[in-house]
Amino acid sequence: MLEISARVSIPDHELEFITMRAGGPGGQHVNKTDSAVQLRFDYANSPSLPDVYKEALTSMKDHRVLPSGLILIRVESERSQLMNKEAAKEALTALLQKAGKPVKVRRPTKPSKAAKAKRTDSKTHRGKIKSARGKVKF
């Protein structure tokens, strides 16, 4: 059971793990063992995930969230397959918690008069420094 929040949890039978050989350095160990893990989660057809999460995931800009309704997370950072599975579950939990947070609406604001004055003062000061770099006249 994967706990996302106090009210949302995903049963283990909805998560699919595929094991494969990891890339990169590691010598004989990497060449012999299937320690890399790919976690697949079909969020679009998940009965345990609320619609709010599904809509947020669909609009999310993340390379792990596919338009077909799948989440693919690949982990090969550890030497142990079990540790890679745990890391993949943690990554999925973090991704779903991020999707569950409400999007903060940005209210457009204008800079204050003091902020504008400070900006122009710093620009004129910087211009004076640069103009003083010219050739010295005697």
pTM summary value: 0.73
Closest by CA position to 89, among listed 40, 30, 36: 40
Q: Enter the CATH code of domain 2-100.
A: 3.30.160.20
pLDDT beneath 50: ranges in the chain? none
pLDDT (0 to 100) of residue 104? 87
- Residue 98: its pLDDT value, please? 93
Run of H or E including 72: strand 70-75
Within 8 A by CB and 6+ apart from 50, the residues are 8
Provide the pLDDT for residue 89. 96
**What is the C-alpha separation between 86 and 12, in angstroms, rounded?**
12
Domain ranges of the chain: 2-100
User: Half-sphere exposure (CA, 13 Å, Cβ side) for 96?
Assistant: 30
